[in-house]
Every structure is written in C-alpha cells, then in structure tokens.
Amino acid sequence: MKRVMFVGLWISLCVLAACSSHKSEDDAQTLYSGNIRIAVDESLRPIMEEELQVYTALNPEAVVTPVYCSEVEAVNLLMKDSVRLAVTNRALTERELQSFHTRKFFPESVRMAVSGLALIVNRQNPDSLLTVDQFRRVLLGEVTRWEQLNPDSRLGELQLVFDNPNSGTVRFAIDSICKGQPIASAVKAQRTNEAVIRYVSETPGAIGVIGVNWIGNDADSTRLSFNQSVRVMAVSADTAETTGDACRPYQAYLALRKYPLTHDVYILINDPRGALPTGLMTFLTGDRGQRIILKSGLVPATQPVRLVDVKDDF
C-alpha cells in the first residue's frame, strides 16, 4: 500500500511541476522576448523567412519557431491553441470565430499583405495568356488538352499542378474561381511550391498554380521580372482571350486589384495576454515588416506604395 501511495504522490508532483514550468514560461513571455511557435501557410514561406530573420535580429531574446504547413493545418493549430498566431491567405470564418467565443477567446484577423495566385508554364510553352473562365474550365476538368485552349498547340495533355490539396491556393481556386464546385480529380499535388516550380520547368504540358511570392527573380531588385526557370502567364478577366485587360501579377496590378487572381494575406492571432505573438504581429504590420513585404514582390497592407507603370508583352 505504501508503495502505491508513493508512486501516486510522485506522479502528482511531476504533473504539478510540469504545469508550473509551463506557467513560468508563459509568465516570462513579453512583447519582445520568449519562445513561441507560429503556423504559416507554406505558400507564404519565402516572405515569412525574410520577416523572421529580421525580427529575431532586432529582438534577440525572442525565439520564434515557424511551422510551415497547409492552410488547413495552420488554422487547425490555431483552433486547438497549439499556436497563438498563424499566417494564412484568408481570414477566420464566422463559424471559427464562434468556436473561439464559446471558449471566451476573441481572436483577430489582421490584413498583412496583398498577394495572389500565379499561373506558371514551361519555358517551351508559347501560350502566355489565359482567361479566368478558361482557368475555371481547366480546374473543373472541362479542358484537359492544350488544343482546347489553342487549336495550334502541339503540347497534347494539359496537366494542372497545385502545391498541396489543403493549401490556401486550392481553397482560393475552389471558392473564388469555381464558386464552390470541387476541382477535377485529375489535378496533381506536389506538396510544396518549390516542387511545383521544378515539375513545371521539366514538363512542357503543365500549368502550375503557386503563390505570387514564389515567382520573384532574386537577381532583380526592382521586382519587375520573374523566375527564369518558368514562364509566368498573364490572366484576363474578360471571357474573350484578348490582351485588353490581361496582366501578370506585378505589384502594381496586385495593389490596384487589376490582376484577377489577387487575394489578401492575414495574420490570425489569439493572444489574450498581449505577449510575444502580439509583438510579432506589430512588427509584421509596422514599417519594418511592411518594407520587407514590399521588397518581396507582394503589396503591403498597411503602408502606402508607389505605383510604377509596366509595359508588358504577351
């Protein structure tokens, strides 16, 4: 009996010690110091890597560990209180907010940047223009061969490639382009945006769908050129395939919402104590963080931008 009581007491003490340790970690966290995990949609990885590199250099006592995952996973981690901050391509829904409210939490969806979907093709592909309606028909599986888009094409089968079935790019395509209809089962998923770029660069008949911040040319500080391993398509909102309103996802066209596949990037935050997650959010939406966004090829959400007219040939 004494042995059993001793074991039970030892277990209780261990539990109390663990709780005390977790509480002390929370108490030690401030706006500028502590240790946190955040969840980030993988399509936003390049920009967040740059942001965190600068943030941690400015705040050496802050340790921020990013979890790069699908948009669905990022929101789920926030909902389960596994992270207090997530960066995604959408705001929290009313249903998600209600779930938080029933637990006496009041999270926010804060606009961080303006981004969009980029459509990329192989360098050998001469087709460089697509309408939103054509893109919708490809998504739904109504168009499966290149000659259905261009009778002169000799590329044969059209392969549409996304990053991840649960990513923000897929969700945006379903909600905003397909109006809630499911995309075709033949659509391929490569898990990451890097893998999509690599697949398209090796596959003449492929169209890749990736986040805009993956298409930049690192050698061009003006951000007026794109990744040289693939071709970035222009997209037209017109039903007819004309060059009248067609444009590529340059920053100016994202800022003006002229590019048809534009969307916002959000910081989802549930930080009732106003600690390190709030400090990071303040940086991301402040002057330093927004300048990094501008440099990355996206559009800052909280800072004014200077627009440059671009002459583009298709």
Domain range summary for the chain, segments of one domain joined by +: 30-113+264-300, 115-262
Rounded Cα distance, 88 and 68, in Å: 11
Give the per-residue pLDDT at 217: 73
Burial 240-267 (b: 16+ CB within 10 A, else e): eeeeeebbbbbbbbbbeeebbbbbbbbb
| pTM of the full structure | 0.85
Q: What pLDDT, on a 0 to 100 scale, did the predictor assign at position 191?
A: 83
Q: Do domains 30-113+264-300 and 115-262 have the same CATH topology?
A: yes
pLDDT score for 6: 37
Structure confidence at residue 213 (pLDDT): 87
Q: Which two tokens stand for residue 38?
A: 């955040």
What integer pLDDT is reported at residue 216 of this predicted model?
81
* Multiple choice CATH, 30-113+264-300, 3.30.930.10, 3.40.50.300, 3.40.190.80, 3.40.190.10: 3.40.190.10
Distances in whole angstroms, Cα of residue 101 to Cα of each of 79, 163, 188, 235 = 11, 33, 38, 40
CA dist., res. 287 & res. 276, Å (int)? 18
pLDDT at position 188, please?
Answer: 86
Query: What does the alpha-carbon distance between residue 70 and residue 72 come to, in Å, rounded to a whole number?
Result: 5
In angstroms, the CA 167 to CA 164 distance is: 5
CA distance 114 to 259: 11
φ, ψ for residue 145 (rounded to 5)?
-135, 150
pLDDT 10s per residue in the chain (314 long)? Answer: 444 443 343 434 444 444 444 444 555 789 999 999 999 999 999 999 999 999 999 999 999 999 999 999 999 999 999 999 999 999 999 999 999 999 999 999 999 999 999 999 999 998 889 999 999 999 999 999 999 998 988 889 999 999 888 888 999 999 999 999 999 988 888 888 999 999 999 999 999 999 998 988 776 666 667 878 999 999 998 766 555 789 999 999 999 999 999 999 999 999 999 999 999 999 999 999 999 999 888 999 987 666 656 556 65
The torsion angle over the Cα atoms of residues 12, 13, 17 and 23, rounded to 10 degrees, is 50
- How far is Cα 95 from Cα 72, in angstroms, rounded to an integer? 14
Q: Are residues 166 and 70 in contact, defined by beta-carbon separation less than 8 angstroms?
A: yes
Task: Residue 198: count other Cβ atoms within 10 Å of its Cβ.
Answer: 15
Query: In 3D, which of 222, 219, 245 has the Cα closest to residue 234?
Result: 245
Per-residue pLDDT, 243: 57
Q: What is the CA radius of gyration of the chain?
A: 23
Homologous superfamily of domain range 115-262: Periplasmic binding protein-like II (3.40.190.10)
pLDDT value at residue 313: 61
